[in-house]
């Protein structure tokens, strides 16, 4: 069995605390025509480098019923700056247009098979996976990006088209797993394509 979710898989449910003080489950986003769940964090240079492109993509599709949910699953013992308190501070400062959730147990990262930060999953109205992988091809320095795969996937899906590129490899830092070396990844977490 693959480590990460496969195209057509159902979105795993969650119940996670958010920076706005609420706890959210998949059902809280039931009105979203499309749901983008992405694994992210506070410290990763690939996340920091591409957050503004992610913001622009979220804003671009908001009126078409697309919602974005960021999940931080990183171990705070590996990276203290990935703490919930720092998440709250970042959201206050940056006002990102997504719900930012904390996956302290890392159970949700395991359920989705999150490989890197950032790692994006796009789900249709029935919460079946239609796209997974990177947002852009140069997340650390978006001035060098040549393609926004996330934008392409959303535009094609919303137009009722079959996705031309439904799977890409996410580019970024690996998820920081509790009790493991900072660069450790599960053996079954090999390349997607």
Report the SS3 class of residue 173. Answer: strand
Mean pLDDT computed over every residue of the chain: 95
Question: What does the pLDDT average to over 142-155?
Answer: 98
CATH superfamily of domain region 9-174: Glutaredoxin (3.40.30.10)
In a 10 Å sphere around its CB, with 0-12 CB exposed, 13-18 middle and 19+ buried, how is residue 128 labelled? Answer: middle
Question: What does the pLDDT average to over 161-189?
Answer: 89
- Please report, for residues 34, 44, 109, 171, the alpha-carbon distance to residue 125 in angstroms, rounded to integers and kept in the order given: 5, 30, 22, 26
Q: What is the pLDDT of residue 184?
A: 82
Bond preceding residue 150 cis, omega within 30 of 0: no
Report the SS3 class of residue 44. Answer: coil
Backbone phi and psi for residue 189, each to the nearest 5 degrees, phi listed first: -90, 65
pTM for this prediction: 0.95
Residue 187 has pLDDT above 80, yes or no: no
């Amino acid at each position: 069995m693959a480590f990460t979710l496969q195209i057509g898989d159902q979105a795993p449910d969650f119940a996670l605390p958010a920076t706005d003080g609420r706890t959210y489950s998949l059902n809280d986003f039931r009105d979203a025509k499309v749901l983008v769940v992405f694994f992210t964090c506070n410290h990763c240079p690939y996340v920091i480098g591409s957050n503004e492109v992610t913001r622009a993509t979220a804003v671009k599709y908001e009126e078409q019923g697309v919602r974005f949910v960021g999940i931080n699953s990183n171990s705070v013992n590996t990276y203290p700056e990935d703490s919930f308190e720092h998440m709250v501070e970042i959201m206050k400062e940056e006002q990102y247009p997504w719900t930012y959730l904390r996956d302290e147990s890392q159970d949700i990262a395991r359920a989705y098979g999150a490989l890197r930060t950032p790692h994006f999953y796009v789900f249709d109205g029935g919460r079946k996976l239609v796209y997974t992988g990177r947002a852009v091809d140069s997340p650390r320095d978006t001035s060098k990006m040549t393609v926004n795969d996330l934008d392409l996937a959303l535009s094609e899906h919303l137009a009722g088209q079959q996705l031309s590129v439904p799977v890409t490899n996410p580019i970024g830092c690996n998820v920081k797993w509790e009790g493991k070396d900072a660069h450790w990844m599960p053996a079954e977490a090999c390349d997607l394509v």
